Chain A
Amino acid sequence: MIGVLATGILAIIYMIYVMVAPQGEHIQGWTPRASSTLAEGTDWVFNFINYWNYLFFIGVVAAMGYFIYKFQRKSDSERTEKVEDSLAFEMFWVIFPTLLVMVVFVLGARDYMSHRVTPKNVYEIQATAFQWGWTFTYPNGGISDSLVVPANQPVRMVMTSNDVLHSFYIPDFRVKQDVIPNRFTYVWFNAPKATLKYNRPNDSTLTVSTLERRHILHCTEYCGNSHSGMDRNVQVMADADFTTWLEELTKVDESAEGGKKVFESKCQSCHSADGTPGIGPSWKGLWGSNRSVSPGGSVPADENYIRESILNPGAKVANGFPNAMTNFTGLIKDGEIKALIEYMKTLK
């Protein structure tokens, strides 16, 4: 008896502790910082259900505790009083919860429809998911690996996958949608507050300052080895900054330096630059070497081979490695391929 009470009390103290314990600056209570216009609706229903849940839970546990205390067996031959089933009570227990869950259903469904119906004047960004990363294509043709969106404007993501199922999830925005090969799915959101700002001390230098903690994009449909590595930053920029950023995006740095950046964002999940083999071959010493591939025996690693390996990876597969690379057609710009080749040349 004492043991039961003690464990119950311990459990409750613990639950309170985890609720109030430090969890990083962006989290208050149950849900993360609400950072899109959709978040309020979600949180409202979340809290509504939660308060009723507390009430029911405390009711059940209090009744259990009270009955255990009150009707504890005193002697082994104790008799119990017969309790009549009460039809009125049973009817109440069927009808009241049914009505309540119907209210919950309507609240949830109504708000869900506002998630699904995109407002007019959306800014549209194409997203492609692959094992294991994302690319975002902007209306001006710019391609980015992290997601940058204009502040205070409805944004619609039109998404597809290059290989298996993925899912697009930004907890701070309360949006989630599976990303499916051979099919387009969409999600929309409106993030009112900028997280990032461009400062221009003089005309030739741009510096970036963070206004707030970035938001995180997660993949939430299990997709293999580096599923948890598909996190990307999401930054929100005010109009003028966003325009600057978009202009910068279309400029490609074709130097080896630029290539290193492309490598880090697009290739590093499977290739290394230091000789350790990953899912794919390491790039160290790759440039100019003779590659044994199938089909075809042996080919020199020159511009054409590299280009083909990026845009049509299945054509010649390096021996000893699976035919597992994503086809980057449409996910990479010509300039970026040039930069990658420049970078490879430095990896002797």
Chain B
Amino acid sequence: MIEPGQTMPAIEHHYLNAEKGIKSWLTTVDHKRIGIMYLISVALFFAVGGLLAVFVRLELLTPGRTIMDAAMYNRVFSAHGIVMVFLFIIPSIPASLGNFLLPIMIGAKDVAFPRLNLASFYIYWAGGILGIIGMLSGAVDTGWTFYAPYSTTTTTVVWMTLAVFVAGFSSILTGLNFVVTIHKMRAPGMTWTRLPLFLWGIYATAIIQVLATPVIGITMLLLMMEKLIGIGIFDPKLGGDPVLYQHFFWFYSHPAVYIMILPAMGVVSELMATFSRQKIFGYKAIALSSMAIALVSFLVWGHHMFVAGQSEVAAIIFSAITYLVGVPTGIKVISWVGTMYKGSISLRAPMIYAQMFLFLFTIGGLTGIMLGSLNVDVHLHDTYYVVAHFHYVMMGGTVIAFLGGLHYWWPKMTGKMYNESLAKWAAGLIFIGFNVTFFTQFIMGSQGMPRRYYDYVPEYAHLHAFSTYGSWILGLGLLIAFICFIHSLFKGEQVGADPWGGTTLEWLTTSPPDAHNFKRVPLVTRNPYDYDAAYDDLLGDGMGDGASRTPTVTPTKA
């Protein structure tokens, strides 16, 4: 233990230098190393998807042909969607931050099934490689939804659906691993109501992953069989029903929308608490609403099909249930804002991202209310309004929270602090660029600009050009954020165990953590955000590095 008043020396032994060489990484069963490998992988796919997005926006800069023809454009936007959804955003937070933090935050040594965890990583890459093969061997031009019967006319769809099918297993196994870990491996005293909210988010996500992902697997299998041997389930030419495909697809993909956002909500809860030094306002409301969202999300898939030819009764029921999902989401927003009340707010980069999340996600959620309204959705469905809505939720929500979480836990993962002003510049550019890019699309969409269009009527030229300029600012911001992280690896200042004054368990172990996370099994004696109880040990020495916080960790038999 370091005495109060002393600076932190570099830690000698931790998970990064416990073993050496590339092989020790590729065969590791340490959840932290697997988390880091996922982090690098999803960052890679985010870069690929982002590059494709730049091309999509570039093509739309002017009406008619700008840089590519229609056939190419259709492949590019499809690849963008597929990479972003299946290879980036679904694994993003759970597989990287979740893997790294979940065992530490519950005071465990590892996840329940460490080997399975490594296997999930390789399965994810198998899916990724199949996807890359699919892209290089012609690429699908179906959009990420693979709607039949158009998809059954493209040969390469088999590679892509196989990629989705395989990647799905990784998602299921990770979810399973997390559910068992949270149930079985919590440290003594870590009751359910002492679980940090990030883990509530991960837990709700894991349940959806286990229950919903098999459905997309089966759907993809059916689609492959339709394509290869013509079983006649979706293709009307063979007596099939294309609307059935949409039911199957959205039965997975709507819950998947929550696989994407619930972990992000968890991250934001952590950020709000730490940087407001305040317990989360309505902890139980947030935890319960995560579970409520997870369950109700299975009942609203039909809101993607209001104009697809389903019955009016079905449409009305789906609309009603959709609104019920909106309410727990609203409760969360109020709780986050409430957490700042009478807090001690520090606007470090992670908190700036949390504020950006609140701003952007609120817009995303409120425009969801618009889309849930039956008559309005008839007008807005499959227009740029929907594109803007889900980018506000997925990019403005999940990606922004991911970036915030990454800044927040970066010192824990690497032992190094990032450069604050560089990080703030990046955040500012991302915020401006994002709004210029996507807010414009709300306007285009409500004026009737359909989505997935290579070409458009001159009325929308002005707004499309604007949106493209925004994408350049956004891209620059993301690039600077990336440079900021790399810069910190070489030039970052060494940090102590708890640079932020966080109160959850991960801040009790060294930065970077020991290969076994804790030297002793922690005994948890208080709620995760109980700043009252933590005050004395947290702030007693005025260092805020948690060095003197021993009373919360009582040695037990290891």
A residues within 8 Å of B by Cβ? 1, 3-4, 6-8, 10-11, 14-15, 18-19, 21-24, 26-27, 30-32, 41-42, 45-46, 49-50, 53, 56-57, 60-61, 63-64, 67-68, 71-74, 76-83, 85, 90, 93-94, 97-98, 101-102, 104-105, 107-109, 111-113, 115-116, 163-165, 167, 169, 171-172, 174-178, 180-183, 185, 216, 218-229, 231
Contacts and interface: CB of A to CB of B under 8 A. Distances in A.
Contacts of B539: 77, 79
A24 B444 CA distance: 12
Given A108-B373, A180-B309, A68 B347 contact: yes
B340 A64 contact: yes
A150 B542 CA distance: 79
Given A7-B432, A167-B307, 9 more contacts: A56-B362, A79-B277, A83-B278, A83-B281, A108-B372, A164-B242, A172-B448, A218-B450, A223-B150
Given A73-B346, A222-B147, A109 B319 contact: yes
Contact of B436 (A14, A22, A112, A216): A14
B466 to A, nearest CB: 7
A171 B358 contact: no
Contacts of A231: 457
Contact of A105 (B278, B279, B323, B424): B323
B354 to A, nearest CB: 10
A180 B308 CA distance: 8
Interface string B402-437: 000000000000000000000010001001100110
B450 A31 contact: no
B544 A113 contact: no
Chain B's interface size range is: 35 or more
A26 B439 contact: no
A221 B382 CA distance: 7
B428 A3 contact: yes
B448 A171 contact: yes
Contacts of A31: 379, 446-447
Contact of A176 (B150, B346, B379, B457): B379
- Secondary structure at the B interface, as helix, strand, loop or mixed, is helix
B440 A181 contact: no
A224 B312 contact: no
**Which of B71, B323, B440 has most chain A Cβ within 10 Å?**
B323
A111 B372 CA distance: 13
B150 A228 contact: no
A115 B374 CA distance: 10
Given A63-B337, A165-B147, A49 B345 contact: no
Contact of B375 (A81, A85, A112, A216): A112
B435 A14 contact: yes
B276 interface: yes
Interface string B539-551: 1001010000000
Given A1-B347, A169-B450, A46 B376 contact: yes
A234 B276 CA distance: 57
Contacts of A10: 432
Contacts of A116: 312
B455 A49 contact: no
Contacts of B369: 49, 53, 101, 104
A178 B315 contact: no
B518 interface: no
9 contacts: A21-B462, A68-B355, A101-B323, A101-B372, A165-B242, A175-B378, A182-B236, A228-B455, A228-B456
B344 interface: yes
A94 B337 contact: no
Given A90-B285, A224-B141, A102 B343 contact: no
A218 B448 contact: yes
Given A71-B341, A221-B382, A115 B375 contact: yes
A68 B324 CA distance: 31
A1 B348 CA distance: 10
Contacts of A53: 366-367, 369-370
B230 interface: no
